[in-house]
Amino acid sequence: MSEKTREELIGEVADLIANAKRVVVFTGAGISTESGIPDFRGPDGLWTKLDPSDFTYQKFVGDKETRKKIWQLNKYMGLTWKEIEPNPAHIAVAELDKMGKLDCVITQNVDGLHQKAGVPDEKVIQLHGNMQWVKCIECGVRHSYDEVERWLDAGAEDLECVQCGGVLKPDAVFFGEAMPVHETMEAERRSSGCDLCIVVGSSLVVYPAAMMPQYAIQSGAKIVIINDGETGMDSSADVRIWDRAGEVMTEIIKKVKQKLGT
């Protein structure tokens, strides 16, 4: 049997979306690389510039020099969080919501770009937290990263809570830190209740987050995987597209609109 063309695969995904009642989109770092955010494990990923062990919860809390390095993360990325804008893939996911097809986005990303693209905050489940916020590990008070950036620009290096003097930490899940309970349970529930799960830009090797598409399969949902590299679930996909997300997702949405007459 001849291999299907990219256009045929995009048409299949559009058919699945048009016929679906509850679509869950699961996203990883690959959806945000086109916004200029480096991934972690790629040839030019953050792990080529930073030591992954610096992102363990224990080392961050216990070592002042590690904290100072993490607060300079923007320097290693080459841009600040407020400069980052959604790309066509994020916009396409937001279009699914406008069509009434999107149940939710479950994301491993900490950049807040789905919300910035127009997906309602209550429909974005962030399994690994959100770098747009900073939280005191003692009293729980939160600050926006914009506020923290002003402190850093003014010369601060190791940040302390103004309320209790505790350690401030980016509100993202570090290695060795538990996943947020409510978000994880809600992601499991939504994954088990969808009839179509679209994986965009994830290698599906980071657990327990990568369990979500598996819950969808176990409940009888169709699975689409759009990723430029190999994933841990390629053999389980109903449709597999090897490509970057922006152009593919844009073409898929265009086809869905044609099918729905919108």
Phi, psi of 153 (to 5 degrees): -65, -30
Pairing relationship of beta strands 239-241 and 23-27 according to DSSP bridges: unpaired
Q: Encoding tokens for residue 248?
A: 């593919």
* Sheet strands (E) in 61-188: 102-107, 124-126, 129-136, 142-144, 168-172
Q: Are 68 and 28 in contact (CB under 8 A)?
A: no
Which DSSP state fits 166? P
Q: Which of 114, 128, 143, 182 is catalytic?
A: 128
User: Does residue 128 have an active-site annotation?
Assistant: yes
Q: Encoding tokens for residue 110?
A: 């900490």
Q: What residues act catalytically?
A: 128
